[in-house]
Structure formats: structure tokens, C-alpha cells
Amino acid sequence: MRRAIAHHPAGSWPTGEAVATVTLAFADRHRRRIRLTDDAGTLFMLDLERPAQLADGDGLAIEGGGFIAVRAADEVVLDVRCTGAAHAARVAWHVGNRHVPLQVLPDGSLRILDDHVLRGMLEGLGAVVTATLAPFQPEAGAYADGHGHDHGQGHGHPHGE
């Protein structure tokens, strides 16, 4: 069985050496050691030295050569549109106060995983909330390393919260 032994953030590995892809939902992308199946149906062992928050475009180096490219799976998310920067900051504060992962989209709107309770809260705060199917790549957090990956140092919360 192939063994993926090193994690390389997007942009730091030779994408031309990808021999496979693996598509994972957000909840399945924080890993250290697990048996996975790539997108072609071939098993491989993810066997990293320490846990990593895998992101879309990252590469997993295979023992003996080559890489497996990580893809973020489409999942049901809520896209949150606010009336302006102050409204978005207020909405983001309320989401963060609940320790919910949040993605800031290029247009300034926000994205969270689908949750009917949070949807009600967001609509109550005046946001326009739309459920859609899209990849979810939340902010890594204040304690992430320079590559945007959280190693859980000093923040007191388990990964994934």
C-alpha cells in the first residue's frame, strides 16, 4: 500500500508530480494517520509525523516519489452576505463567539458549514443567508504557522472547533 509521509501546503510542492488526488470534506481534512482511498479508488496510508489541517491544493508526498493532491469536497455551506464592513465584523464576531469555523470569501462575504440554528441567528442579525454546495476552507486561526496551518499551540481548543 502506498504511504503518504509528508504534507506540503499549496504552492510549495511540484504539482506536475501528482499521481493521484484525494477529495475530502472539511471535517476529514485534519489528520495524522489514517487509511484513505484516493479519487481513483486506490487505498493509501496517510502517515504524517504530526497532525495537519489539509487544505485544497496541498500535496501529500508519497514514500518513494510522487504526490497525492488534496481537494476540498463540495459540502452544504451557508454563504452569508452583510450590508457592509461593520455589519460583517459584527456577524463574524457572533460566529466566532460560538467557536464555529468561518471562511472569508474574496468578495467579503462569509461562509460557514450548514447549521439551522446558526442560520436563524445570522438572519436575526440582518444577514442574507444562502445555502449552497461548495468547498469549505475556513480561516486557519491566530495560532496557525506561516503556511496557514494550525498546530494547536496555546489556544486551548481542540482542532476542528
Check pLDDT > 50 for residue 152: no
Is position 16 within any domain? Answer: yes
Write down which residue in 72, 92, 110 finishes a domain.
72
Residue with cell 452583510: 82
Same domain, 53 and 87: no
Please provide the distance, in angstroms rounded to a whole number, between the alpha carbons at the two ends of the chain. 32
Is position 153 within any domain? Answer: no
Same domain, 43 and 96: no
The dihedral built from the CA positions of residue 37, 148, 104 and 142, taken in this order, carries a sign that is positive
Question: Considering the entire predicted model, what is its pTM?
Answer: 0.81
Is position 141 within any domain? Answer: no
Is position 23 within any domain? Answer: yes
Residue-wise pLDDT tens digits, 89-100: 999 999 999 999
Residue-wise pLDDT tens digits, 21-66: 999 999 999 999 999 999 999 999 999 999 999 999 999 999 999 9
Is position 144 within any domain? Answer: no
Band of pLDDT at residue 143, cut at 50, 70 and 90: low
Same domain, 57 and 84: no
When divided into structural domains, the chain yields a total of 2
Q: What pLDDT was estimated at residue 117?
A: 97
Is position 58 within any domain? Answer: yes
Residue-wise pLDDT tens digits, 87-132: 999 999 999 999 999 999 999 999 999 999 999 999 999 999 999 9
Is position 154 within any domain? Answer: no
Check pLDDT > 50 for residue 148: no
Same domain, 81 and 103: yes
Count the neighbouring beta carbons within 10 Å of the beta carbon of residue 61.
Answer: 18
Domain that residue 11 falls in: 2-72
Band of pLDDT at residue 140, cut at 50, 70 and 90: confident
Is position 114 within any domain? Answer: yes
